[in-house]
């Protein structure tokens, strides 16, 4: 069996948000897909350890915010590599609430879809939440980010709780590049870090001392040679 066959599957990149009472949380997930058209239903696969899982279980509501291709890595870092148990994911992020009180991100987002849970499927480490649409809006026109684009062009990584996490793929060795020990983001001097104003061709050693990982915010000393 060749498990790299799975790398040919395509996905988007989404912020999945929910609430529990007055508390709000969100996380990144690539596994949001439309299941049926009448009624419109969508499923998401959420790790049972994640706070968003607890919130969706509680409120039976969630929203899918579809990330634009030109979104900065920091947006994915904010929702994908931090825990809502330690930080307020919405601090410094522009968002709005639906009439049901579910948050959705408004910057670098093309559209959002709000869902009410119809069914929960126990999938071992994850729960598959199947929701029926209760609201949706287009925020701006643009190209949605795909999971492949995030990996290949943005050089992003995935946390260990993601359903598609693959240790072999995440630890692929590369030369003259540096890897963040916290989140696995790879700094490639050829690409620089345009989101943070670092020009292509900038060696890791020449990055300013206050430069931080564009995904998780870790400082330079947390990077190891790849």
Instruction: Write out the residues near Fe ion by the rule CB under 5 A.
Output: 180, 182-183, 185, 213, 215-216, 218
- Closest distance of CB 155 from Fe ion, Å: 11
Which one, 128 or 182, has the nearer CB to Fe ion? 182
What are phi and psi for residue 95, nearest 5 degrees?
Answer: -150, 165
- Closest distance of CB 187 from Fe ion, Å: 9
- Closest distance of CB 222 from Fe ion, Å: 7
- Closest distance of CB 223 from Fe ion, Å: 8
Determine the Cα–Cα distance for residues 193 and 154; give it in Å rounded to an integer.
9
Structure tokens at 70: 């030109």
Which one, 20 or 177, has the nearer CB to Fe ion? 177
Which one, 112 or 187, has the nearer CB to Fe ion? 187
Which one, 82 or 116, has the nearer CB to Fe ion? 82
Which one, 120 or 195, has the nearer CB to Fe ion? 195
Tell me which residue of 155, 149, 221 sits closest to 190, measured CA to CA. Answer: 155
- Closest distance of CB 134 from Fe ion, Å: 35
């Amino acid at each position: 069996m060749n498990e790299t066959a799975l790398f040919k599957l395509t996905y988007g990149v989404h912020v999945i948000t929910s609430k529990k009472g007055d508390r709000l949380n969100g996380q990144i997930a690539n596994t949001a897909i439309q299941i049926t058209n009448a009624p419109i239903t969508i499923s998401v696969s959420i790790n049972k350890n994640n706070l968003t899982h607890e919130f969706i279980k509680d409120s039976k509501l969630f929203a899918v915010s579809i990330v634009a291709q030109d979104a900065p890595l920091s947006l994915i870092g904010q929702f994908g590599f931090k825990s809502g148990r330690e930080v307020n994911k919405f601090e410094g992020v522009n968002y709005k609430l639906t009439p049901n009180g579910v948050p959705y991100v408004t910057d670098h987002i093309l559209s959002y879809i709000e869902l009410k849970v119809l069914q929960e499927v126990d999938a071992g480490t994850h729960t598959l939440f199947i929701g029926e649409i209760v609201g949706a809006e287009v925020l701006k026109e643009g190209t949605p980010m795909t999971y492949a684009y995030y990996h290949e062009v943005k050089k992003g990584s995935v946390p260990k709780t993601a359903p598609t996490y693959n240790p072999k793929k995440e630890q692929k060795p590369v030369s003259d590049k540096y890897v963040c020990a916290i989140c696995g983001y790879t700094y490639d001097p050829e690409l620089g870090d345009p989101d943070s104003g670092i020009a292509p061709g900038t060696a890791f050693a020449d990055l300013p001392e206050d430069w931080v990982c564009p995904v998780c915010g870790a400082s330079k000393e947390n990077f190891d040679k790849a």
